[in-house]
Amino acid sequence: MKKTIKDVDVSNKKVLVRVDFNVPVDDRGNITDDTRILETLPTINYLRQMKAKIILMSHLGRPKGAVVEKYSLKPVAKRLSEILKVPVKMAPGCVDEETRKIAASLSASEILLLENLRFDKREENNDPEFASQLASMAEMFVQDAFGTVHRAHASTEGAAKHLPSVCGFLLEKEILYFNKVLEKPERTFVAILGGAKVSDKIAVIQNLLDKVDAMVIGGAMAYTFLKAGNISVGNSLIEKDRIDMAGEIMQKAKSKKVGFFLPIDHVIADKISENAQVKETRGVEIPDGWTGVDIGDMTINRIAPVILSARTIMWNGPMGIFEMDKFFKGTGKVAELVAEATQKGAVSIIGGGDTVSAVKKSKLADRVSHISTGGGASLELLEGKILPGIAVLPEKASR
Ligand code: AMP
């Protein structure tokens, strides 16, 4: 258990807060989804109540150490100010003279947002001098950017070494949910994994095989497993160099008595397009010339009782090319099943950017237990890795 913002006295203190304001911005500078800003409000509001002087910092996009106007955080300062209905000062930079002056003159409950940390290449290099310059503006550090804690950067790892550091409410919530699921899951524990590639999720599958009772596999990665079982998959996306490994994983699942649920039928298309010719296979084989784009009805009927009887569910990766309405059904159905299981008392975590979009597309986001705000970070937690931005924070018991 990490020390949190509630375990320390932040009143009237200058507090440096790492947030994840890496929001999507369109060509005209409009924020198209402000979820990440909204997720930080509990921490920001608490700090305002406590009359802290708040210095927020974040990255946006990948400017790679150069000042690139389209990645400026100015639209974020504006949006945050509209949401909070108080002014949010926008800094000209991160650690320059002018920014430091504004930071030094903040009064109680005032908010300053530093400019994009990644405009300075020292951020991603975890440069100790940059980290110490950031830290020197404040008396305390709060980490609330779950989306970047898997990176050892100056603002996520370096700065925490220079100041009394704690986690904010969002990070605390993410850690609590992942701990609950990975350390003490109520059984049965079902993992639902999908998405494009097995290779991206091998470490997750390996780690979860030691923890779950059943694994439901969908998306393109299922075809590599089917291929390993000598099933024809037509033109479906497979990773030839992972077929052997897929076979080994299935063996391991068998020896550990983990239920391993691959699709038993598919939605197939003659091309990947909204105006493709589409049909269902009604069997596990995919004919030549056709591509698997979603799980079929027989598969949904087979996995439904598995998901509905779960007490713990971890879902990462869509069941098909959910971005296209024609191929959305399987993913949408799984979202409904997860929501129904949650209603019956299961703890459900949705991780990974695409899975979160799919659940939102189903309008079921408020019917699952936890929607993780970090795709990469959640995958690394599921792989069993220690994340540097969390590891650097002190435990509750320590002083
Ligand atoms: P990931 O980032 O690994 O979770 O993968 C998400 C992507 O996998 C989405 O963009 C989906 O369109 C894609 N995907 C899921 N199923 C399939 C499929 N059957 N064929 C091709 N791509 C797929």
CATH, residue 65: 3.40.50.1260
Alpha carbon nearest to ligand 1 atom 12, residue: 321
Q: Domains in the chain: how many in total?
A: 2
| Residues 129 and 210 both lie in one domain | no
Q: Is 227 left (phi over 0), alpha (psi -120 to 50) or beta?
A: alpha
Asked if the bond preceding 148 is cis, omega within 30° of 0, the reply is no
Residue 79 near residue 37 (C-beta atoms within 8 A):
yes
CA proximity to 312, closest of 367, 368, 255, 259: 368
Alpha carbon nearest to ligand 1 atom 10, residue: 321
Q: Among 25-39, 232-246, 265-279, name the one with the lowest average pLDDT.
A: 25-39
Residue 399 pLDDT greater than 90, yes or no: no
| Residues 31 and 125 both lie in one domain | yes
Q: Are strands 140-143 and 111-113 parallel, antiparallel or unpaired?
A: unpaired
**CA torsion through residues 41, 172, 23, 108, sign:** positive
* pLDDT number for residue 310: 98
Mean pLDDT of 280-294: 96
160 domain residue, yes or no = yes
Ligand 1 nearest-atom number relative to CA 352: 4
* pLDDT number for residue 11: 97
Using the mean position of ligand 1's atoms as its centre, give its distance from the Cα of residue 326 in Å: 14
Is 197 designated active site? yes
- Per-residue pLDDT tens digits for 188-224: 999 999 999 999 899 999 999 999 999 999 999 999 9
| Residues 103 and 127 both lie in one domain | yes
Alpha carbon nearest to ligand 1 atom 20, residue: 220
Is 396 designated active site? no
| Residues 213 and 358 both lie in one domain | yes
| Residues 161 and 29 both lie in one domain | yes
- Per-residue pLDDT tens digits for 357-367: 899 999 999 99
Domain end position, chosen among 170, 197, 216: 170
193 vs 190: CA distance, rounded Å: 10
Name the DSSP letter for residue 395.
Answer: B
| Residues 298 and 184 both lie in one domain | yes
In this structure, the residues whose C-beta lies within 6 A of any atom of ligand 1 are 195-197, 200, 219-220, 237, 292-293, 317-318, 320-321, 323, 352, 354
397 domain residue, yes or no = no
Per annotation, catalytic residue among 48, 78, 197, 311:
197
Alpha carbon nearest to ligand 1 atom 1, residue: 195
Mean pLDDT of 287-308: 98
- Per-residue pLDDT tens digits for 133-168: 999 999 999 999 999 999 999 999 999 999 999 999
CB proximity list for 183: less than 8 A, separation 6 or greater = none
Per annotation, catalytic residue among 2, 14, 18, 36:
36
394 domain residue, yes or no = no
Is 36 designated active site? yes
198 vs 228: CA distance, rounded Å: 12
Residue 72's domain comprises: 5-170
Ligand 1 nearest-atom number relative to CA 197: 3
| Residues 157 and 186 both lie in one domain | no
Domain end position, chosen among 149, 170, 191: 170
Using the mean position of ligand 1's atoms as its centre, give its distance from the Cα of residue 285 in Å: 20
| Residues 229 and 90 both lie in one domain | no
| Residues 260 and 114 both lie in one domain | no
- Reduced to 3 states (helix: H, G, I; strand: E, B; else coil), residue 394 is coil
- Reduced to 3 states (helix: H, G, I; strand: E, B; else coil), residue 141 is strand
Residue 121 pLDDT greater than 90, yes or no: yes
114 domain residue, yes or no = yes
395 domain residue, yes or no = no
Using the mean position of ligand 1's atoms as its centre, give its distance from the Cα of residue 330 in Å: 12
Ligand 1 nearest-atom number relative to CA 292: 19
326 vs 322: CA distance, rounded Å: 8
Is 18 designated active site? no
69 burial class (0-12, 13-18, 19+ CB within 10 angstroms)? exposed
Mean pLDDT of 4-21: 97
Ligand 1 nearest-atom number relative to CA 317: 4
Is the pLDDT higher at 353 or at 313?
313
pTM: 0.93
